Chains A and B, each alone.
Chain A
């Protein structure tokens, strides 16, 4: 064990960043009074001891800390902690095992997606937003495309909307399964994780058969979707539905009345309705307080008003309630998927993209055995017969289309809560600004509220009940 007495260092105040001249003068005076002429020196704040644990030396650390006679310990969870759902860093101040203060630190997965999108065409935007929250890519794409369509003043055709609802609900199930599965794993219920990933695999297989990729699909495009169901798509969908009918009830059997599961989650990470409203919480967190707020019902989009499903609420406002809501929503999503199945049967052969040649890609893609989409008749036509067709295709891909100037804020109900997309266009072929209001980002700031005063072990449950995905949080 290495132990080092250390003093905290604070950087000198950067006077240039302060706008107010008077403040600058005041700060300068403070610096002069405190430090004399040596204004650039580091300021000593408080003494503390830093321990470096190298393994097997815990007894020494404990003894050293006991000799110090100070009960407060500051530990750092993450950014590589397995139970933080990615690269989330938590600075936890502990008194014994009780959390006195917790501060989440994010940004480790920041990839500048919003900025990068400003340099690509509107259609390419789909391929960027799908990588934000990688557990709900279909929602990112749909929120973005609904915004672009609003600016363009177009609406996707009926079958495209059905396909969007289908992939969104499948994706909602996949996201909830991961939330339940990893949440269960973190409190020791490993089987819940293995069966949740087994079920999710069915959904990913369906996505792969549909559009060639298991994640990062860019399936939803401005104006519709990229590709129709494959020939055996409905049969595959039926297989998925049957699978879920058979297996979804296992979760309730494993977890609902499991004494360990309940003891770890009941009354943990509570957030009352007033707190949820204050913190702008949405999704399962808000519905766990008994408030039936679901944008699919309140502000319908993609034709959700035509589907029959219930908004699930719970009355305990804790981690267990959020789990029960996710579990019940799996069944509700399955209900919607069954309705999509019927609607897809009835609308077979209808267009999946707006019929505007200046917006929609020419040629109808089909999925090859290599997982790549291709349109052979179209390629044959533009390469062999139509020079104009080739130019048109080239311009549509390289230049893209223009979107009228203005700004919109579209919000949809993602598995985690409200997913908002604020798009600004200046009338060009590229987005001027795209901002995603990610529910994980928004909810993580409530973590101190729901975990301070509790036990350290409950922090893990609290994070899991918020279900943040750091790809979306950091964007």
Chain B
């Protein structure tokens, strides 16, 4: 299991410590345990199933596309450098061997501990012709969260990209109207991000004070 090189390695390897979170509260005797959190596991060839054929074809159509591929859980995810995204989605839609007609979902994920690749955008493509699903993942840095909009290829990504901008602050260049969609227009910040607090107030239940969710013990 090696991590992807295209996704910059975190400056500090994220680890999970102890049984119950931070040591003072952890009286289990396992407070010293420290395990690394491994995300984005890179697959090696052969990928199996139809994955090899699709990756080969894509590499043929988009010269210079790396082989950063994840096949965990029987799902094919291809990590795409952000400057190649438009070329890749054009190929996935237009090529008869690929023919992913629709982009069903765009989803932002925030990894604050991955220096230089904090923001990830995952595109879920669906091919009805071949009955296949493919995910494309793009990693962006917090300093430059700009990526080409895929709306020129997949118009249905319009609102999904607006949602990702709204929640994560990813700027989709070339989007016809990148405005907030779920939050009010004058909202500050991007609530989906991990550094955006959940908020909440303590409440009383049968005489006991119940802390807001974020202040409760986490495991």
**Residue ranges of A at the interface with B (Cβ–Cβ < 8 Å):** 19, 106-107, 110, 112, 114-116, 118-120, 150-151, 277-282, 291, 293, 298-299, 399-400, 405-409, 411, 418, 420, 422, 424, 426-430, 432-433, 435, 437, 441-442, 444-445, 474-475
**Contact for B159 among A151, A422, A445, CB less than 8 A:** A445
Q: Assess whether A474 is in contact with B104, with CB atoms less than 8 Å apart.
A: no
Return B21 CB to nearest CB of chain A, in Å. 10
Residues of B within 8 A of A (CB): 14, 16, 20, 35, 37-39, 41, 72-75, 77, 101-105, 107-110, 122, 124, 126, 128, 131, 133, 135, 144-146, 154-156, 158-160, 163, 171, 180-184, 191-192, 198, 213-214, 218-219
Are A409 and B124 touching (Cβ within 8 A)? Answer: yes
**In the complex, A475 Cα to B218 Cα: how many Å?**
25
The answer to whether B128 touches A420, judged by C-beta atoms less than 8 angstroms apart, is no
Q: How far is the CB of B187 from chain A (nearest CB, A)?
A: 10
Which residues on B sit within 8 Å (CB–CB) of A112?
191
Contact check, B144 vs A19: say whether CB atoms are below 8 A apart.
yes
A contact residues around B74 at 8 Å (CB): 150
Residue of B at shortest CB range from A121?
B219
Most A CB within 10 A of own CB, among B35, B146, B182: B182
Evaluate contact between B192 and A114: CB separation under 8 angstroms.
yes
Q: How far is the CA of A408 from the CA of B135 in the complex (A)?
A: 9
CA distance A34 to B151 in the complex (A): 32
**Cα-based distance from A37 to B217 in the complex (angstroms):** 54
A426 x B105 contact (CB < 8 A): no
Min CB gap B208→A, angstroms: 15
Residue of B nearest to A401 (CB): B219
- B183 proximity list for chain A (CB < 8 A): 107, 110
CB–CB A405/B39 < 8 A:
yes
* Interface contact A435-B105, CB-CB below 8 Å: yes
Find chain B residues with CB under 8 A from A280 CB: 101-104, 126, 154, 156
B122 touching A119, Cβ below 8 Å: no
Partner of B124, one of A119, A422, A444: A422
A-B contacts, 18 listed (Cβ < 8 Å): A19-B144, A19-B145, A19-B171, A107-B181, A107-B183, A107-B184, A277-B128, A282-B104, A408-B75, A422-B122, A424-B109, A430-B218, A432-B109, A435-B107, A437-B105, A437-B160, A441-B159, A442-B160
Determine the residue in chain B with the shortest Cβ distance to A425: B39
New A-B pairs, 7, CB < 8 Å, besides A407-B77, A427-B35, A430-B219: A119-B214, A280-B101, A280-B102, A405-B38, A418-B126, A427-B16, A432-B109
* A contact residues around B213 at 8 Å (CB): 116, 119-120
* Contact yes or no, B101 A277, CB < 8 A: yes
Partner of A409, one of B38, B133, B154: B133
A126 to B191, CA, bound (A): 22
- Determine the distance from Cα of A280 to Cα of B72 in the docked complex, in whole angstroms: 26
Contact of B191 among A115, A399, A422, A427 (CB under 8 A): A115
Choose one: B75, B144, B156, B181; the contact of A279 (CB below 8 Å). B156
Shortest distance between the CB of B171 and any CB in chain A (Å)? 6
